[in-house]
Amino acid sequence: MKKSIELFLTFMKIGAFTFGGGYAMIPLIQKEVCENKKWLSEKDISDIVAISESTPGPIAINAATFIGYRRAGLFGACMATLGVVLPSFLIISLISLMLTEFQNYKPVRYAFMGIRAAVLALILKALWMMFRSSKKNVISYCIMGVSLVLTAFLKIDAVFVIIGCGLFGLLWSLTAGKEQSNDTD
């Protein structure tokens, strides 16, 4: 029970102080879970982010659920998920009541402009963290480049690109594994 409450409070803090969605939360999740709480390693977080991107639903909710489950089972998963969702739910509810009243005020527009800039910085930090912890070789750079072209320029849905990259990685590992076993014969 104590672990579940700690999960709830940790993810509530992350949810309350992160603007910009799941990718903006990744650096805060990493800092809290790896550096402050020492629940997981940076490699674990990279794996969790990859799994969270590949499963349906928002990445931050998926990551919180997965971390909560690893830390304290099903109840921990529920508490971490509730913690990360509750602040956004409350804030969005409050904003929706007031936004129509204040959306044309310059200070509000400038505040949102500043928030967007901060969110971009957090997303770039998440990208850098994932890049640093991933294996780098010609194949991974090719997959990254092809994925960028498919999603950014050819406008192919990211879901299909992720599935395709996962299948390619699986086939590649099976082929590379056969080649390595043949080399040792």
Task: For the chain of 185 residues, list the mean pLDDT of each consecutive stretch of 10.
Answer: 94 84 83 92 86 82 93 96 92 80 81 86 85 84 92 93 90 75 51
**For position 179, what pLDDT does the model report?**
59
Instruction: Determine if the pTM surpasses 0.95.
Output: no
What separation in angstroms does the CA of 31 have from each of 19, 42, 162?
A: 16, 9, 26
The residue assigned the tokens 């904003």 is: 95
Whole-number Å distance between alpha carbons of 114 and 157: 29
CA angle 141, 177, 138 (to 5 degrees): 15
Q: Are 68 and 77 in contact (CB under 8 A)?
A: yes
